[in-house]
Amino acid sequence: MFKFSNLSYSKQRLAIIVAFSFIPLALLVTFAYLPVINMFKYSFSDWNGYSKRLEYVGFENYIKIFTDPEYFSVFKVSLYYFVATFVQMGLALYFATILSFQTWFKNFFKGILFFPSLMNGVAIGFIFLFFFKPDGTLDTLLQAVGLGSYVKLWLGNPEIINISLAGTSIWRYMGFNFIVFLGAISSISSDLYEAADIDGANRWHQFRSIILPTIKRILQLNLILAISGAISAFDIPYIMTGGSNGSKTFVIQTIDVAFKYSKVGLASAMAVVLLLIVIAVTLLQRLLIRGEED
């Protein structure tokens, strides 16, 4: 009798688990896995997004992405954001190191540095539109300090537009890296600093011999994530320029191909390429972590 009751209880528990898991799993499959499967299917076709006809063209879309300069050139724009990531990480690490020690108004500066990370990307885009526009905030500041000769069309000159946009991304994302680095540095035992002080080590020696080795894994992870972040840059350039004047990123190009030119098949192939890059970056990240643990 006891065994029967135990078996009945297990079946009831399994039924409850299945019942409560069905809706989340159904939503996950419907809105996550099924679209990805369809995306792979469309990437081998020339579908325009609304026609009932779906003609398969094999790997033609993928070949076009990597051979046609119109589509492959957008990868060059990603280099600006990738370089900006090094600047961003360097600044974040610099401020995190300084504010991990005793300084005046430490909490005030922490709030200022982290504040941009709390803002919406759309709001930041409109703020910097006003900042970079002709006779806007940046031009006014340059003229006020006697550097009016350096005033340029920051969002109108193809030679500097991506530098302006990458600079905006530095301001937006530096706060997040700053908090990550600050948390990692704050976890270092104070005994190490005290021992270093006894040995006569200055702040630079403490940074090089204590802080850097301790946060090396955090630096590696942020660097790897920077690769996928640089390729998937979207909101800042889309809001500020719409991809004009040579500022079109890979994601903006994908959206334009799909909805402006009705080449959903080609756009799906571009999305698959982006997905594969993100997966490769994630696998590389895990391999590095596993290597560190070994």
Q: How far apart are CA 241 and CA 157, in angstroms?
A: 11
pLDDT given at position 34:
92
The residue among 25 and 288 whose pLDDT is bigger is: 25
* DSSP assignment of the chain: -HHHHHHHHHHHHHHHHHHHHHHHHHHHIIIIIHHHHHHHHHTTB---SS-S---B-TTHHHHHHHH-HHHHTHHHHHHHHHHHHHHHHHHHHHHHHHHHS--TTHHHHHHHHHHHHHS-HHHHHHHHHHHHSTTSHHHHHHHHTT-GGG---TTT-TTTHHHHHHHHHHHHHHHHHHHHHHHHHHTS-HHHHHHHHHTT--HHHHIIIIIHHHTHHHHHHHHHHHHHHHHT--HHHHHHTTTTTTT--HHHHHHIIIIIS--HHHHHHHHHHHHHHHHHHHHHHHHHHHHHH-
**Residue whose C-alpha is closest to residue 125's, from 229, 233, 241:** 241
pLDDT band at 208 (very low <50, low <70, confident <90, very high): confident
Decide: 104 and 280 in contact? Cβ < 8 Å. no
Query: pLDDT tens, 76-105?
Result: 888 899 899 889 989 999 999 888 887 788
Query: pLDDT tens, 222-248?
Result: 877 777 788 888 889 999 998 888 889
pLDDT given at position 2:
46
CATH of 76-289, picked from 1.20.120.1200, 1.10.3720.10, 2.102.10.10, 3.40.50.410, is: 1.10.3720.10
Least confident segment among 1-10, 37-46, 47-56, 216-225: 1-10
pLDDT given at position 24:
87
pLDDT band at 62 (very low <50, low <70, confident <90, very high): very high
Query: pLDDT tens, 186-201?
Result: 888 888 888 888 878 7
Would you call 256 exposed, middle or buried from its count of C-beta atoms within 10 A (0-12, 13-18, 19+)? middle
The residue among 285 and 75 whose pLDDT is bigger is: 75
Decide: 172 and 116 in contact? Cβ < 8 Å. yes
Is residue 188 left, alpha or beta, with left meaning phi > 0 and alpha meaning psi from -120 to 50?
Answer: beta
pLDDT band at 39 (very low <50, low <70, confident <90, very high): very high
pLDDT given at position 149:
86
pLDDT given at position 1:
46
pLDDT at 286 over 50: yes
pLDDT at 292 over 80: no
Return the C-alpha torsion angle 271, 84, 69, 257, nearest 10: 40
pLDDT given at position 37:
92
Q: How far apart are CA 241 and CA 158, in angstroms?
A: 11
Decide: 93 and 181 in contact? Cβ < 8 Å. yes
